[in-house]
A and B are shown apart, each in its own frame.
Chain A
Amino acid sequence: MTAAPDASPVLRLRDVAKTYGAGEAAVAALTGASLDVHGGEMVAVMGTSGSGKSTLLAIAGGLLAPTSGEVEVAGRPLATLSTRRLAAVRREVIGFVFQDFNLLPSLTALENVALPLDLGGASTATARSEARRALATLGMRERARSFPDELSGGQRQRVAIARAIVGERRLLLADEPTGALDSVTGEHVLEALRERADEGAAVVLVTHDARHAAWADRIVYLGDGRIVDETRAARPESLLSGGVQ
């Protein structure tokens, strides 16, 4: 499942720092975070409120520029890209999944999912067929023509994930993607993210919930604006040989 160690990471963060404000009012959200995420790997980022989790994700997705440090996505250093090129990387390589779905209410599920491809200049036919495929992988083929308000919370989140993976997106960034969903529906959302990682995407999941983080191959903890602890998945054969009681 995890990529070979010599493969270059899809996401590479080096000593990333971010300070909001200046002078007396300056707040350091990140003080030097480094993280590599390879294709086929799912990494959970945990930490208390205000530990910089969402800032880290926004920087990884090129939505926010770091104050210092390096960010590379699929081998491209984001700092060197023009605004236009950066927008293209965000659209073509990176998929975002947020807590509040962010679906456009006036578009059907299919149109919502096709939107990033439409914006990227794909033909309508290509965008639609890719969108249909993405919806199908999430078990939402039947609901392609539904509008967001005709879908349940879990279904809306599946559409949001379909939109995040449509095309050849190699990096998926999810910020508390289960939001207010009940625990069984939330599990389906995590299952969908896990499947994307198993198919080769690099997935970063920001969560405060250990049960969700357990879907990841690696769990990193943020504290004081940097990564302070890490748990890697152990070998499955040690299960129940003195594990949880």
Chain B
Amino acid sequence: MSVKHSLLVLLGDGDRYGYELRAEFEQRTGGVWPLNVGQVYSTLERLERDGLVLRAAAGDERQVRYALTEAGRAEVGAWWATPVPVANVGRDDVALKIALAVTSPGVDAGAVIHEQRRAVMTSLQELNRTKRASTDAAWDLVADALIFRAEAEIRWLDHTEQRLSLTRSKAGLPAAAPRRSVAASEAEAAR
């Protein structure tokens, strides 16, 4: 997530104090990414150093208001015009772990998949329940993003499990490993 660009976007609507920026950021993004005020100020310092913001005339000595510079405005324009980089293929932690499980003798990859699916499914249920109870449009939008991603992960896990079981049955192995915990199959492998 780009804190830098988020702050620049907020400053595009008018000059703000650090505390105001934090509050507005959380309100406009559904409060999903808690931002501490220290992070806001350190980011503002960097933005100032890079000439993207400047300290506006301070009405109160203890509070500093920040304003967007022309360069800052151009940076925001460029950010809207550029897609968020798509994650590099192959750097997915879950894919990595399951790839290792599949190629490790004695590890029940099916059990690893079940544990992962259970965890994602549980969080999907929680997201769904929170969304149902919510009246915050910003949070709904963010919740939907998380819901669709969790769904995609489960579809991929199901797909992988099915492929794995087809490969096993072609190789004359039992079609599906009996369901059991990862710990149990590791203990068995250790024996």
Contacts and interface: CB of A to CB of B under 8 A. Distances in A.
A111 to B, nearest CB: 33
Nearest to A46: B158
A244 B125 contact: no
Interface residues of A, number: 25
B33 to A, nearest CB: 10
A228 B113 CA distance: 13
Given A48-B162, A210-B124, A214-B125, A244 B150 contact: yes
Contact of B125 (A48, A223, A228, A234): A234
Contact of A243 (B114, B126, B179): B126
Interface string B148-185: 11110011001000100000000000011001000000
B124 A214 contact: yes
Contacts of A213: 121, 124
**Interface residue SS majority, chain B:** helix
A233 interface: yes
B120 interface: yes
23 contacts: A48-B158, A48-B162, A191-B132, A194-B132, A209-B151, A210-B151, A211-B128, A211-B147, A213-B121, A213-B124, A214-B127, A224-B175, A229-B114, A231-B118, A232-B122, A233-B125, A234-B122, A239-B127, A243-B123, A243-B126, A244-B123, A244-B146, A244-B150
Interface in A126-160: none
Interface string A100-137: 00000000000000000000000000000000000000
B39 interface: no
Contacts of B148: 211
Contacts of B162: 48
B130 interface: yes
B129 A210 contact: no
Interface of B: 32, 114, 117-118, 120-130, 132, 146-151, 154-155, 158, 162, 175-176, 179
Nearest to A235: B126
Contacts of B146: 244
Given A48-B162, A194-B132, A210-B151, 7 more contacts: A210-B150, A219-B125, A223-B176, A229-B114, A231-B122, A234-B122, A244-B127
B124 A211 contact: yes
A239 B151 contact: no
B95 to A, nearest CB: 14
Given A48-B162, A209-B151, A224-B176, A238 B126 contact: yes
Interface string A202-245: 00000001110111100100011000110111101011100110
Contacts of A210: 120-121, 124, 150-151, 154-155
A239 B126 contact: yes
Nearest to B123: A243
